[in-house]
Amino acid sequence: MKIDVLVAEIGSTTTVVNAFNQLETDNPVFLGQGQAPTSVKEGDVNIGLQAAIEDMKKNLNVENENIDYKYMLATSSAAGGLRMTVHGLVYDMTVKAAKEAALGAGANIHLVTSGKLTKVDMMKLNKIKPNIILIAGGVDYGERETALYNSEMIAASDLDIPVIYGGNTAITDDIKLIFESYSKEKNLHIVPNVYPKIDVLNIEPTREVIQNIFEKHITEAKGMEKIREMVNGSIIPTPGAVMKASKILKDEIGDLVTIDVGGATTDVHSVTEGTEKIRQILVEPEPIAKRTVEGDLGVFINKKNVAEMIKIEKLVKELNMSYEEIEEFINSDVAIPVTEKHKRFIERLTKEAVIVSINRHAGGYRTYFGGKTKTLAFGKDLTGVKWIIGTGGALTRLPAREKILNDIGVSNKGDKLLPTPEAKILIDNEYIMASLGVLSSLYKEASIKLLLKSLKFNENMD
């Protein structure tokens, strides 16, 4: 069987393969999906990839045929995903800009520091063993000392990993000399300053370099070395792929926010300039494309944490269940609920994860009292969002998924810059948003059409 493109989503526990055809036509096709356990522990991710392909063949009723694909692309959060640390000058300025760049590329940030690195910071760095270090600091032709000091500390350490410098461009040559003096010039990647002027963010070039480095790193990670034997196209972090899909979709349908509730974390990706009204009172700049990841909000690995956040007593009353039933669901090792009661329990946890995560992602208002009362805005403005998109296992499969997302608009107490009740709900029904994000690097127009199909966009416009 001939297939244009296979896209593998290699997760920490599960590998999913999606097949696409007719990508150069006006009617691209999503053929089907297969999945299998990820085989990083076995030392060869191809075992899981091949098993997922066999499952896909079974689902397509072509078990006895060979699959002949033109391209295989991949997204991955396996092998620990992309671990990064970020080091800047002032937290509210260069550190924040660097952090936005890393998160938007799909990284998991394990350490953020402002100012000069301390001995304790370096001890933490050595313990974390990040895949990439991002150094920022100083607007162009501004403060120099901090970035130079931090570069020296990192170059002189035993860490032998990629380092991205995205700070004051006036000292780029000095940074290069520092890394050369420790014979680590191959580790250094220079990008434009993430915060070149006061209130100006420039993070897209850094995001691109992060994803390029990730592609090289992931093929060298234990269990992932043989990935190139099957994958002959791009490999990017799964959250970065969801962001990429959100960005191309925004250009097509308007401002949006994508929410992905997973077993361990909840990711929120917003792509919006915000409203002119809020821009007039915004304290500091925000990126157009912003991602936040909430490591304590998940409906499988972190379900006990979310349940305790709601309160067990409240769950008993809301769901009309006994304490014993709630405890049984909390301690269950069943990842995908089957019974109606279990589904209602997971739906309630999903609602909590959605509301808490988008409130953390969104900015809000602050009122200052002085000679004259003044209200200012801070953080990400989501009030101009036209579409709320649900992806991930929970928000594409649970019966109450649309109601859960509709609750966002009515949950605002007036102090947060949340989407309004007028924002419409879209669901990634085929659960292929991440795959289409990476596919867009080869077939952008086809990816947009397939995204709109999965979201049933035209039906929602009626």
- pLDDT, tens digit, for every residue of 322-354? 999 999 999 998 878 889 999 999 999 999 999
Window from 204-213, 409-418, 419-428 with minimum mean pLDDT: 409-418
Tell me the pLDDT tens digit for each residue of 266-298. Answer: 999 999 999 999 999 999 899 999 999 998 999
Least confident among 103-117, 218-232, 282-296, 383-397: 218-232
> Per DSSP, what are the bridge partners of residue 377?
282, 365
pTM for this prediction = 0.90
DSSP notation for 293-330: EETT--SSTTHHHHHHHH-HHHHHHHHT--HHHHHHHH
Residue 221 in this model has a pLDDT that exceeds 70: no
User: Is the confidence at residue 42, as pLDDT, over 80?
Assistant: no
C-alpha separations of 412 from 52, 132, 273 in Å: 42, 37, 20
Q: Flag whether pLDDT at 79 surpasses 70.
A: no
Q: Phi, psi at residue 60, to the nearest 5°?
A: -95, 0
pLDDT classification of 427: cutoffs 50, 70, 90: very high
Confidence of residue 462 (pLDDT cuts 50, 70, 90): low
Kindly report the backbone phi and psi dihedral angles of residue 352, in degrees, each rounded to the nearest multiple of 5, phi listed first: -65, -45
Please tell me the predicted confidence (pLDDT) of residue 51. Answer: 92
What integer pLDDT is reported at residue 435 of this predicted model?
A: 96
| Average pLDDT score over residue span 400-412 | 93
**What rounded mean pLDDT belongs to the chain?**
92
pLDDT at 78 over 80: no
Q: What is the pLDDT of residue 80?
A: 62
Q: According to the model, what pLDDT value does residue 333 have?
A: 87
Q: What is the pLDDT of residue 138?
A: 92
Of all helices (H) and strands (E), which one includes residue 19? Answer: strand 14-21
Q: How many Cα neighbours within 13 Å face the side chain of 441? A: 23
Q: What is the DSSP string of 323-375?
A: HHHHHHHHH---SS--SHHHHHHHHHHHHHHHHHHHHHHB-EEEEE-SSS-EE
pLDDT at residue 106 tops 90: no
Q: How many CB atoms lie within 10 A of CB 215?
A: 17
Residue 374 burial class via C-beta count within 10 angstroms: exposed 0-12, middle 13-18, buried 19 and up: exposed
Q: Rounded to an integer, what distance in angstroms lies between the CA atom of residue 29 and that of residue 447?
A: 10
Q: How many residues does the chain have?
A: 462
Q: At residue 39, does pLDDT exceed 80?
A: no
Q: Of 5-14, 41-50, 215-224, 249-258, which gets the smallest average pLDDT?
A: 215-224
DSSP-derived secondary structure letter, 265: -
The answer, yes or no, to whether residue 25 has pLDDT greater than 70, is yes
Q: What pLDDT is stored for residue 222 in this prediction?
A: 63
Residue-wise pLDDT tens digits, 130-145 = 999 999 999 999 999 9
